[in-house]
Amino acid sequence: MANATTSVTLLFVAAARRPLILVVDDYEDTRLIYAETLRFAGFEVAEAANGRDAIELARRINPDVVVMDLAMPVMDGWEATRRLKSDPRTRTIPIVAVTGHDEAEHRHLAWRAGCDELYSKPLLPNQLVRRIRTCLGAA
Domain boundaries, the chain: 14-138
The arithmetic mean of pLDDT across residues 39-65, rounded, is 98
CATH architecture of 14-138: 3-Layer(aba) Sandwich (3.40)
> Does the model's pTM come out above 0.75?
yes
Give Rg (Cα) of the chain.
Answer: 16
pLDDT in tens, 34-43: 999 999 999 9
Q: How far is CA 124 from CA 5, 10, 28, 127, in A?
A: 44, 36, 16, 5
pLDDT in tens, 64-74: 999 999 999 99
